Structures are given as structure tokens and as C-alpha cells.
Structure 1
């Protein structure tokens, strides 16, 4: 049996950490929404006790958990998930595209939401997404042949 791919373990772990941070934002409340760059509009809705910020944050959390599970599956740590290689390619692509275009969003889109998030949010969140995406790509490259095998 092949040893688990540490690169995909790292990628999956980072997606899980991101998911946990999103859950922490829900419990942290409006100030956490602001600190982590969700924007004043979501923070204000959270302050007003509206469910929308929680629903949006839980939706993002569920996607990040699924992505983490796919990376851990690709690493060989958990049961092989369906469409593993295709999903990992798509996950890597989404992370890298978000990482690549993110810093340009404030230059391309002028809305109060985009402007409220600020340049620092777009820079750091893009750098984080690009890093996680590149880890996925590296793990895919290293494990490409084993990811195509049907178990």
C-alpha cells in the first residue's frame, strides 16, 4: 500500500481549518465577520440577528469541508470518494482562479460590497487561496496515476 500523500493532507487540512474559521466567525458574531473581511453588510445583518449571514457562512463551510475531504481522500487517508481526480482538478482550479483574480476585483468591480472589504482582504484571501490551490496542484501532479486507479 502506498503511503499517504503529505501534500494533499496539507491541502485538505488547510481547507478544514478554513471551514473551522468560518464556523468560528458565526460564533464570534458581527465583530468576527468584520475582522475576517465578510463586509459591513453581513456584519450588520449578524448584529440585527438575521439568519442570512449564518446561512451563507454555513454554505461556504460545507463546501470547504467537502473540498478538505476530497483532498484527504486523494491523499489516501480516507475512503476513496466518487470522481476523485476530476473533483480535485476542479477544486485546485477554483482555488487558483480565486487566488489569481482576487487582487484585481477592486479594480474591476466597483460596488459597496467590494469596496467595504478593502484591499487587504482581497490581497490576503487571494494569497491564501492561491497557496491552497497550488498545494492541490502539486499533490495532483505527485499522485496523478494513483488517483486514476479504481479501488
Structure 2
């Protein structure tokens, strides 16, 4: 397995873990949902038993699962998926941006708060996943000329 393929398998596995975390937090209830950094409205939804918390958590878990499948596709572990380069590049950009957004807040973090420590660790992890997707995207983008691209797979 090449380095970019290993990066994509790592990235896809990490994203699947994130999908699982969203489901586990939902099962764990409002305190778990708050711990993983959900907005107050989602925590309140979980406390009140309204639809926002489960719909949001399950929607994010489904999206992350699809993104993981694209990583596995880019690594050649499952069949080629449509718009592979576009999705891999988009996920890389989203995760890298999400990871970098937290950098200015590191100096103000309360390092005694488990919730803030989790938030910082999650941001670093998301950044690493973005880098893994970026390496995989670059490899897929370079290996597929327009003549060999999948239908709808060009950027």
C-alpha cells in the first residue's frame, strides 16, 4: 500500500470514529452531547427530547460515513465513487480549515476543563485527518488524467 493510500485509510478510519462518536454521544444523553461540544440549543434539545439533537447527530454521522467511504474509495479499498477528486479535496479543505480555526483560541483555553481539552484535541485530530485527506487527494488528482477520470470525477 502506498503512503497516500495509507493516509486515506487512516483518514477514513478516523472519520468513521467521528461518526461513531456522534452516535455514542446521542445515546449517552445531554451531558455527553455537551462534552463533545454541541451548541447549547442541541444540548437543550437532547434534554427536552425534541428532534434537533438526534437529527443533527445522525445527519452528521451519516455525512461522515459517506466521507469515510470516499477515503476508502480513493485508497482503492472499495469501488471508485463518483466525483472522487472533488469530494476528497472538499473534505480535506473543510477539515484543515476546521482544525486551523481553533488555533487562535489555544492560548485562551482552560486547560483544567475536560470539555475544553477535548475540544482542543478534537480540533488537532480533525486537522490531522484533513492532512491525510489532502495527501490522498493530491495523489488521486495527479494519477487521474482527464482521459482516465471517472465520470463526474474531475475537479
TM bucket by the smaller chain? 0.7 to 0.9
**Contact 2:88 2:136 survives alignment (8 Å):** no
Quote the Cα distance in structure 2 between the aligned partners of 1:70 and 1:26: 25
Q: Which runs of 4+ in 1 moved over 4 A?
A: none
Asked whether 1:74 is paired with 2:74, we answer yes
- Compute the TM-score of the two structures, normalised by the length of structure 2: 0.78
- Compute the TM-score of the two structures, normalised by the length of structure 1: 0.79
Q: Which residue of 2 aligns with 1:138?
A: 135
Name structure 2 gaps, 5 residues minimum.
107-114, 151-155
Q: Displacement of 1:147 after TM fit?
A: 4.6
Q: Displacement of 1:124 after TM fit?
A: 2.5
Quote the Cα distance in structure 2 between the aligned partners of 1:104 and 1:54: 31
Q: How many residues in Structure 1 have an aligned counterpart in Structure 2?
A: 140
Asked whether 1:101 is paired with 2:98, we answer no
- What are the superposed Cα offsets for residues 34-82 of structure 1, whole Å, 9 maximum, x if unpaired? 2212144322221111111111111111111111011000000111000
Q: Displacement of 1:138 after TM fit?
A: 1.8
Name structure 1 gaps, 5 residues minimum.
107-117
CA 1:146–1:75 in structure 2 vs 1: closer, same or farther (change >3 Å)? Answer: same
Alignment root-mean-square deviation, CA: 2.5
